[in-house]
Structure 1
Amino acid sequence: MRTTMALTLALLLGGCATPAERAAQQQREVDEMIVVYGPACERLGFPNGSDQWRGCILNLDTKNAIARYRTSPTTTTCFGHRGFFNCSSF
């Protein structure tokens, strides 16, 4: 029993990320967005490194994310009885 609890605790703690690890992950995501969308924003006329350029990168990433999630399949599940239903979509 103790071995199972110790293994479970080790797995749970192993999945946790420190604030520094989360910050590093965010920085990697921002760097990837700059590589992907930076040249397009420069071609649109925004000076590299300006606030408008950064806004353009964020807008293009948001637009791409919305398009990606809009086309993903969804599943709706409902359960209940006598007129009281709870539905959730994924």
Structure 2
Amino acid sequence: MPQELSHNSSVIEKLNPLHYMKPEDYTAFWQKIFSTILLGFWARFFFYVLLCMAFYVGVRQRNPTLAAVCIVLAACVAYGSGVIGMASSIRW
């Protein structure tokens, strides 16, 4: 059940999506994203774009922090679908 936020709550609490939606809806949202957009051609496209951005930002603009963020996002795109599939196959 989504929780109510007070006016003096922190920014991190306001960014938490579980305050606005149920955990089941949140999980279903990410499973839908990984099973449609981040699978096949679009996954490869986003992966290569993020890797190129990481190289450009890291080498040309000399911003290793932003380059690391691009590499982490590229890894999430590359391995996210497999991790979600593996996690959904595990029976608790």
By percentage of residues, which structure has more strand? Answer: 1
- Structure label with greater radius of gyration: 1
**Into which bin does the TM-score normalised by the smaller protein fall?**
0.3 to 0.5
TM-score (norm 1): 0.34
By percentage of residues, which structure has more helix? Answer: 2
Instruction: Using CA pairs under 8 Å that are at least 6 residues apart, name the structure with larger relative contact order, 1 or 2.
Output: 2
